[in-house]
Structure 1
Amino acid sequence: MKSLEYRETAFGFFKFAFQDDSDEIVKSSCVAAHVLASQNLKLLAQDVVYWVIRRVGVDRRREVVEFMWKRHAEFESDFSVLDTLMRGFLKVEMSCEAMEIVGRMREVGLRPSSSAITILFKLLLRVGDHGSVWKLLRGMIHQGPRPCNHNFNAVILGFCRLGHVKVGESLLYVMQKFKCQPDVYAYNILINAYCTRGQTVDALGWMHFMINNGCAPSLVTFGTVINAFLQSGKYD
């Protein structure tokens, strides 16, 4: 895999080679992931773990976690192996298992990656696991990493897409308590949500609100509001 020039080619080779999901082959694949991670080839390590999880399925996912954890100290740090496992579960869309990895990180005193948490938020909202969304957000507030704009924007977008615009509004206010100043993307999410619902007056109100709070609208902001007024026949 290391000798191949492109990540996609290396991953394709591994998928071709991984034809047997016996315990011995799974263990060997986990060691391969460790070796790749130890040589700063984290993305390839994540590809290997993702494919192994996908092949063995839900029933054997705990085996993979234990295989990876058992010998990881010889090759990589606690955070490195758990982050690889978390991203593997995220890629195969096993949200409950990804949440378990977050829990294991907390147990050993680690903070999950903010970027991985953003992906997890999106997945949890897509599958409708709102309880885990709030649990994950509470965990970030109390144990870190501190929620950032990307985290809040992902959650606001997810709830707005589900039609829970008021929840999105509340989160926009809440994020300011954690030193996250709403950016143009956060406002655009809410404005678009109101426009989609035909509530153009509310959308325009939010545009004025963002301007008054020192956030300049983008071309997307104006385009969204103008299009909504045209769709509703309010040409004036």
Structure 2
Amino acid sequence: MKPHKLLNPQTLKPSKLRPIFLTNHAPSSAPFSSLTHPENPTDPPPITRHSLLKTIQSSQWDFIKHLEPNLAPSLISEALFELHKSPQLVLEFISNVDFHRQDIQTRCLAIAIVAGQSSPKPALELLKQVVGSGIATIREIFNPLALSRERLSVNSSIIFDLLLRACCEMKMADEAVDCFYLMVDKGFMPKTETCNDMLSLFLKLNRTERVWVLYAEMFRLKINSSVCTFNIMINVLCKEGKLKKAKEFVGFMESSGIKPNVVTYNTVIHGFCSRGRVGRAQMIFSAMKGKGVEPDSYTYGSLISGMCKERRLEEAAGLFNKMLEIGLLPSAVTYNTLIDGYCNKGDLDKAFSYRDEMVKKGIRPIVSTTMC
């Protein structure tokens, strides 16, 4: 047997060697090819405007949530515009897309579309969500809303009133003022009801000076006052202790063609009673009935409270009985006023009788309802 001839390494010249290149291209018939997996098996497939529209129109909301990672704001915006004649469908779609997937322009377009519904509540709730999120200033919300309104060829300016109302409902008073002046600057006059919301908000916040400024602006801009507007301003005067002016304002109200209602008279009567001027309140009470405005439980409650404070318990009890005779139900506050009055007088039997009557009628005692 011949020995094997050993290969001399010296004979291996580089020029005679052929390089070998490894490739990542596996042959199509490679074994186990059926077991290969995509890099990210959980990634949703790409989606087009057409396929998105079909998904929305068939209300496949679970699938929409699955597609969220691929829903760019521009794609959402395109779909919204295509669906602008179906505000309810837009509302359902936008409610099923994560808030943070939508930029402010997309969100405002959706709100402008939803505002086309007969009920303003859905658009108002969407606006409160945007305003409350703090992602944009009122101006940064107002301008995209204006652009969306133009893009949709909407004539109504209700969307701006809703924005102002959203600020008021969230007690964002300064933002409401910003919105008011943005509307005015753009030539959109806020509705009377919207202005009333602002006036009412500043009244609740005890910012009465701002109430007068806004009321003056309404007058300057020739925005009509309603009975609600006058009632708010009369309430302001009563809170400021300007009772004579409050009564005069009722006359101004009538001369403006607005008939005072029960709230108007209740406000003035309560104002006088709370300042210890029950006699004057009784005169207004008589004038109220003379003009055909029927007193309610609040009217009687204010007078009874005022009388009890002046220790005129027999008169208060007589007015209370009159209230029952005409079928009005006293409030827990009214019962409490009488109970306190008779307790302070030392007539516990009378106080207990009111307490028992109150419980018998199913009126729940308030925290301050105590027996001395």
Q: What fraction of aligned residue pairs are identical, expressed as a percent? A: 20
2:145 aligns to what?
68
Cα distance in 1 for partners of 2:177, 2:260 equals 27
Contact 1:15 1:51 in 2 (8 A): no
Matches within 5 A, 1:150-189: 150-161=228-239, 163-189=241-267
After superposition, the Cα gap between the structure-2 partners of 1:71 and 1:216, relative to the gap in structure 1 and judged at 3 Å, is: closer
Query: What are the ranges of 5 or more consecutive residues in structure 2 without an aligned counterpart?
Result: 1-55, 62-87, 316-372
Aligned match for 1:123, one of 197, 201, 206:
201
1:207 aligns to what?
285
Cα distance in 1 for partners of 2:170, 2:304 equals 40
How big is the shift at 1:149?
0.7
What do residues 192-230 of structure 1 show as CA deviations (whole Å, max 9, x unaligned)? 122223321121122233345x24341433443244324
The yes-or-no answer on 1:79 pairing with 2:160 is no
The yes-or-no answer on 1:216 pairing with 2:293 is yes
What do residues 117-166 of structure 1 show as CA deviations (whole Å, max 9, x unaligned)? 21111111222333332232223334333111111112323443455544
Does 140-149 or 26-35 show the bigger shift? 140-149
2:210 aligns to what?
132
- CA-atom RMSD, angstroms? 3.2
Q: Which has the higher contact order (CA 8 A, sep 6+)?
A: 1
TM value normalised by structure 2: 0.53
Cα distance in 2 for partners of 1:102, 1:157 equals 22
Contact 1:89 1:95 in 2 (8 A): yes
After superposition, the Cα gap between the structure-2 partners of 1:43 and 1:217, relative to the gap in structure 1 and judged at 3 Å, is: closer
What do residues 69-127 of structure 1 show as CA deviations (whole Å, max 9, x unaligned)? 22221233351221122122222222233223333333444432222221111111222
1:29 aligns to what?
107
After superposition, the Cα gap between the structure-2 partners of 1:56 and 1:223, relative to the gap in structure 1 and judged at 3 Å, is: closer
Cα distance in 1 for partners of 2:197, 2:261 equals 19
Secondary structure, counterpart of 1:64 in structure 2 = helix
Matches within 5 A, 1:89-128: 89-128=167-206
Question: Given residue 256 of structure 2, which amino acid in structure 1 is its aligned partner?
Answer: F
TM value normalised by structure 1: 0.79
How big is the shift at 1:39?
4.2
What do residues 5-37 of structure 1 show as CA deviations (whole Å, max 9, x unaligned)? xx9xx79x949932x2x8x52222111101212
Cα distance in 2 for partners of 1:109, 1:68 equals 15
Larger radius of gyration: 2
